[in-house]
Amino acid sequence: MMLVFAIGAFCATLLGGLFALRLKDRLHLILGLSAGAVIGVAFFELIPEAFELSGQAGEVRTVTALIALGFVAYLILDRFIALHSHTDDDGHARQRRGVVGAGTLSFHSFLDGIGLGLAFQVSPAVGLVVALAVLAHDFSDGINTVNMILKSTGERAQAFRWLLVDALAPAAGVLATLCFTVSQTTLGYLLALFAGFFLYIGASDLLPESHHSHPVYWTTLSTILGVAVLYVVTLFA
């Protein structure tokens, strides 16, 4: 099943990029829904599982510290992308920034794949819920990868090549987790770290992007819907 979702992540990233190339009018609603889904999986699945797997009550401080560390680590990674994606009068510098930004987004997707693989090590039910959030995030990553290259070079062929790299990255991350297993406690710590990742992705990346230049009312409703859907999924998964 894990490999099926790895292929699904590839398809979601590819589909997001193709949407960015072809259709832009409704992307804000999809991004709003994705933001809610990613935030929901952090609160309703990853954080509870992290506390449960880490065991003793004394580990609460460690788990919460790792959630914060994951948030801050993704913040630094996001700022790195921002530093390399600003427009510039120098065409070569602008092109280089676009490539570095797309490469870093592909690394984002690789981390998504690792998170998905680790979730399936906990249980198929946890893996399923995390897979839904990963699919939503990878869809938006495909959009961002294409937009970043188009803004920096304007070349659709290069944008599509980077889209393929970004689409393959989560599958590579999932396959990497087949090469190792970790203890329950370590798994709990890693899930806490990825919870911080997902909270940052949802609140500081997808959500602002969904509200950019679009009516707040509909994007807010789509975000609430995303959270609600993930809550219902966790009840029955």
- CA distance from start to end of the chain: 14
Domain coordinates in residue numbering, the chain: 2-18+34-236
Tell me the residue type at 88: D
Task: Find all residues with CB under 8 Å of 1, minimum gap 6, and list them.
Answer: 120, 124, 127, 128
Average pLDDT of the chain is 77
Tally of CA atoms within 13 A in the half-sphere of 43 that contains its CB: 17
Per-residue pLDDT, averaged over 26-37, amounts to 72
Burial (CB < 10 A; 0-12, 13-18, 19+), residue 99, is middle
Distance between CA 116 and CA 131 in Å, rounded?
6
| Cβ proximity of 54 and 188 under 8 Å | yes
Reference 206, options 59, 16, 56; nearest CA is 16
Of the pLDDT bands very low, low, confident and very high (cuts 50, 70, 90), residue 45 is confident
Read off the pLDDT of residues 78-128 as tens digits, 9 standing for 90 and up: 777 555 454 454 556 566 666 776 777 788 788 888 888 888 888 888 888
Task: Assess whether pLDDT exceeds 70 at residue 209.
Answer: no
pTM over 0.75, yes/no:
no
Per-residue pLDDT, averaged over 65-86, amounts to 77
